[in-house]
Chains A and B, each alone.
Chain A
């Protein structure tokens, strides 16, 4: 039956080729779209988690606490060390965010001072990679600070000038002078106008000795939001170490808006898949139906020779399956090749890349597709083949042998 079906598919060569090519195009397109979406999602995930970390330890509901002192992790280094010991290979960094008044010679602004570990991943992400002038903050002798460009403009200061930070009513020294070590360009201009980065030690001495507002954990090899299992595994490993009154958040909980954007990709692609496969399905229906109409006499003979209606329906469905799946195989090969090439890195055209960088999209992206996504594309193709064959198969199954053999096409 399979052999006969295959010969029948090849019989209407031009029509079968056209339909197979349409299915191949849809499958290839879907694979490229999945590869592209993998690149976007992974790129955004990596971009985001480079600044948020994969797991974050903080005081419970810290974002809702108004008083500075109540939102702090006291004795942060000890806790940081315990967490690092529990997760070998992970980077565990503390950061201290201090609301402050920063003043230049003539102007002052309310800012958020970020105290980061020199040489740490957060410092690299927030400062080193974004420097437009000068260098990162230091605490060897004189304290220095890297300022957002917009903030420096507002304060009318430049690299090498002095600024003064005031943090009243804290357990630290409360006020200190900093030299502007460098200027950083941040993706959002509002953030750039209120950000200054100093070293963790300087922030702690200024406002909260030995404390941190959060401890950020970077897990090794976590490059995609689909690796949820690894994240949960690390989280449960750390859970017993979390003191009462604290919470250990995943990046999803810390950045729910971004998580929602990334999660939207899956249903969005499913909608595209449905649209594309329905269009391809219409072509398949047309091909299978015309194949049936042209061979009504032949179907009549096959029924006369003893094939029952189920077998006839099976023959029509098998023809549709062969047509679609062979097209899908070609499409998967072409799509796979394209995704493989894109997996070595690709960029959007210049202006687009710059525009999308604002939303956290990396300039160079790396396509990736999971076996489950490939399986999903094939499942769609399979479903298309079956759905497209149903009506012609039903018609074929209802043929009466005598009438069918008298049919004139």
Chain B
């Protein structure tokens, strides 16, 4: 199977007030379509930075990023935004739903950005919410939902757009362990049944027991990889 995502010798250095802080120091990673991959590592190991670079949210200081056959690192902001819109889904640690929109509107938001007709948006968003067992919550606003439900809406938002890959940056960090585990199970089921490619980061070792492929990151470098049978 061809690589869906390929990172070659990724370096990222942040500069603040003239002080350089390296976040990634030559990371290499390949993810194939349909994989369910966890990026594990302690805080400050560069997990979020790696996901941001892989998802085209930021540009590396050095190295190359390829997504679905397109090189990302040499694209400008507008081109990267277009690529994110059509090929990438994101789930963030803090849920990051739009507070004035209902769960249904949030789930349909990426489709709206793509300019899809409202009937199609509604149908696909409702289907995505149903996949995450949120059928009865479509008209609720984020402040009327629990943390776990909000994060499921965030997954539904990414899912409804049917992207090539969904990046989830510490999606369980704000959830209790039971709810966090449940969310990972939802993601696994979508990966298994619908072939959705997931790449998510976590520093919670308990979650890693449920993941087939784990990439370990330490001090901005890939320290190792585990693939369970």
Contact = CB atoms under 8 A, between A and B. Distances in A.
A10 B82 CA distance: 29
A402 interface: yes
Is chain A's interface secondary structure helix, strand, loop, or mixed overall?
helix
B100 A304 contact: no
A309 B90 contact: no
Interface size class of A (residues with CB under 8 A): 20 to 34
A4 B96 contact: no
Contacts, number: 64
B32 interface: no
Interface in A1-43: 1, 3-4, 7-8, 10-11
Contact of B85 (A1, A3, A306, A400): A306
Contacts of A310: 78
Given A1-B112, A307-B85, A302 B98 contact: yes
A306 B81 contact: yes
B213 interface: no
Contacts of B96: 297-298, 301, 304, 405
A305 B100 CA distance: 17
A4 B78 contact: no
A303 to B, nearest CB: 7
Contacts of A358: none
Nearest to B78: A308
A306 B86 contact: yes
A362 interface: no
B85 A8 contact: no
B84 interface: yes
A305 B84 contact: yes
Interface in B87-104: 88, 90, 92, 96, 98-101
Contacts of B82: 306, 308
Interface string A307-318: 111110000000
A401 interface: yes
Given A1-B112, A301-B92, A401-B57, A308 B81 contact: yes
Given A1-B112, A301-B92, A402-B58, A308 B100 contact: no
Given A306-B82, A306-B85, A401-B57, A311 B98 contact: no
A381 to B, nearest CB: 25
A309 B100 contact: no
A153 B77 CA distance: 89
Residue among A8, A308, A311 with most chain B CB within 10 A? A308
Contact of A311 (B58, B109, B113, B157): B113
Interface in A391-409: 400-402, 405
Given A4-B98, A8-B100, A405-B92, A305 B109 contact: yes
Nearest to A1: B112
Contacts of A402: 52, 57-58
A233 to B, nearest CB: 51
Nearest to B87: A306
Contacts of B92: 301, 304, 405
Contact of B81 (A1, A11, A297, A303): A303
A260 to B, nearest CB: 54
Interface of B: 52, 55, 57-58, 77-78, 81-82, 84-86, 88, 90, 92, 96, 98-101, 105, 109-110, 112-114, 157
In the A-B complex, the 3 residue pairs with the smallest Cβ-Cβ separation, listed nearest first, are A306-B85, A7-B100, A308-B81
Interface of A: 1, 3-4, 7-8, 10-11, 297-298, 301-311, 400-402, 405
13 contacts: A1-B112, A4-B98, A8-B100, A10-B100, A11-B100, A301-B92, A301-B98, A304-B57, A305-B157, A308-B78, A400-B58, A401-B58, A402-B52
